[in-house]
Amino acid sequence: MARSWIALACFVAALAGCGGSPSRAVGVAAETTSFYGGGASAGDDEGVAEAEVARDVTGLASRYAQASVPQPQTQAPQASAQSAQRAPTATDAVDTSGPLLIYAATFHLAVYEVQDSQARIAHAARELGGFISSQSDDSLVVRVPAPRFHAVLELVEQAGDVEHRDVRAQDVSEEFHDVEIRLRNLEAMRVRVTALLAQARTVEEALQVEQQLHRITEELERLRGRQRFLADRIAFSTITILFRPRPRETLDQPEVFELPFGWLDTLGLSNLLDLRS
């Protein structure tokens, strides 16, 4: 739907002053409809959706041109105040000056006491600013601050015998910056469409503008959700530990301890330890 937002942006820009007249807005919207809607086939869902948006924009532009709606020269006061006092976003909690990496690790550990091993790893994660994401009888998932990721890995490796180790780093810099740019563009577009809503002369015109405003708002919420998800994964790394209980070895097992004399070995070490003088 990216081209649909381009079509709507062209109309909004034209109506807000690009060309200076509603008639120019009609021309821009018509050209947009021809470019984006003309090649859509019946089986192309995205193309059909884009054509519908373009047609809606064209109809909206025509109504504004016929009604000679005054062109909004500035942003609405309320919208300007909101822009001046921007609410904190997920981007504010992430250092975007360098590569944006998502760290994740999976361990398979063989341990003698699963519960004790889980408790030690969970305690170490909390001490380093992390928390338990999920826990079961044989697994533990902890989230730790990204700068502490490798320190926790060392502690996990010391908790038992590592049977499998998988550590990954995913670079999401491009996606994160792309989402950030698209959010800024949509926010600016929503401000302009909100200003157009205040200029509507009829209920039909208001409904047309509100429909476009609703689409913009839905896309904004989707992008904000993606931004929050990426920011969370960048800030806190995920470590998954799968535990396998190891049976304790007994002294009677020959491979564990072998007495120097065969006749003593036949008695068994446990029997010898039970002897009384």
pLDDT tens-digit readout, 22-41: 444 444 444 444 434 444 44
pLDDT band of 21, cuts 50, 70, 90: very low
At 81 the pLDDT is 44
241, with CB counted inside 10 A (0-12, 13-18, 19+), is buried
- Using the predicted structure, report yes or no on whether residue 211 has a pLDDT greater than 70: yes
> Which among 16, 117, 3, 119 is positioned nearest to 50, based on CA atoms?
3
* 221-255 residue pLDDT tens: 999 999 999 999 999 999 999 999 988 665 455 55
* Helices assigned H by DSSP within the chain: 2-16, 22-37, 45-67, 77-84, 114-127, 149-157, 173-198, 203-235, 262-267, 269-273
**Whole-number percent of the chain with pLDDT over 70:** 56
Tell me the mean pLDDT in the region 81-88: 49
**Domain contains 220:** no
| In a domain? residue 239 | yes
How many structural domains are present in the chain? 2
Please say if the pLDDT value at position 9 is more than 70: no
Residues 66, 130: one domain?
Answer: no
- Residue 9: C-alpha distances to residues 6, 29, 73, 78, 188 (Å): 5, 10, 16, 21, 10
Residue 264 lies in a domain: no
Indicate the SS3 state at residue 97: coil
Q: Is residue 115 part of a domain?
A: yes
| pLDDT at 184 > cutoff 70 | yes
Flag whether pLDDT at 154 surpasses 70: yes
Interhelix angle 22-37/45-67, rounded to 10 degrees, is 170
Q: What is the pLDDT of residue 151?
A: 95
- Residues 121 and 166 placed together within one structural domain of the fold: yes
Which among 241, 235, 243 is positioned nearest to 129, based on CA atoms?
235
Phi, psi of 246 (to 5 degrees): -105, 135
pLDDT exceeds cutoff 50 at 116? yes
Which H or E run includes 113? none
pLDDT reported for residue 88: 56
pLDDT given at position 28:
42
Residue 225 lies in a domain: no
DSSP assigned state of 202: S
Same domain, 48 and 109: no
Domain assignment present for residue 132? The answer is yes
Are 69 and 115 part of one and the same domain? no
pLDDT at 59 over 60: no
The yes-or-no verdict on residue 210 having pLDDT over 50 is yes
Q: Does the structure show a pLDDT above 70 at 260?
A: no
Do 47 and 109 lie in one domain? The reply is no
Is there a single domain that holds both residue 66 and residue 1?
A: yes
- Pick 26 or 142 by higher pLDDT: 142
Strand partners, 238: 104, 143
Residues 240 and 160 in one domain: yes
Report the pLDDT averaged over residues 54-77.
Answer: 46
Residue among 84, 38, 61, 37 nearest 196 (CA) = 61
Distance CA 187, CA 95 (A): 22
Indicate whether 161 and 240 sit together in one domain: yes
Indicate whether 239 and 122 sit together in one domain: yes
The three-state secondary structure class of 236 is strand
List the one residue out of 112, 114, 106, 149 whose CA is nearest residue 130. 149
Backbone angles phi, psi at 72, to 5 degrees: -70, 120
Over pLDDT 90: what percentage of the chain? 45
**Are 12 and 147 in the same domain?**
no
Are 46 and 107 found together in one domain?
no
User: Given a cut of 70, is residue 197 above it in pLDDT?
Assistant: yes
17-35 b/e with 16+ CB inside 10 Å = b? eeeeebebbbbbbbebbee
133 in the same domain as 41: no
What is the structure's pLDDT at 25?
Answer: 46
Report the pLDDT value the prediction gives residue 36, as an integer from 0 to 100: 40
In a domain, 26, yes or no: yes
Give me the domain span that covers residue 138: 101-172+235-245
Looking at residue 258, its pLDDT comes to 57
Residue 267 lies in a domain: no
pLDDT at 200: 82
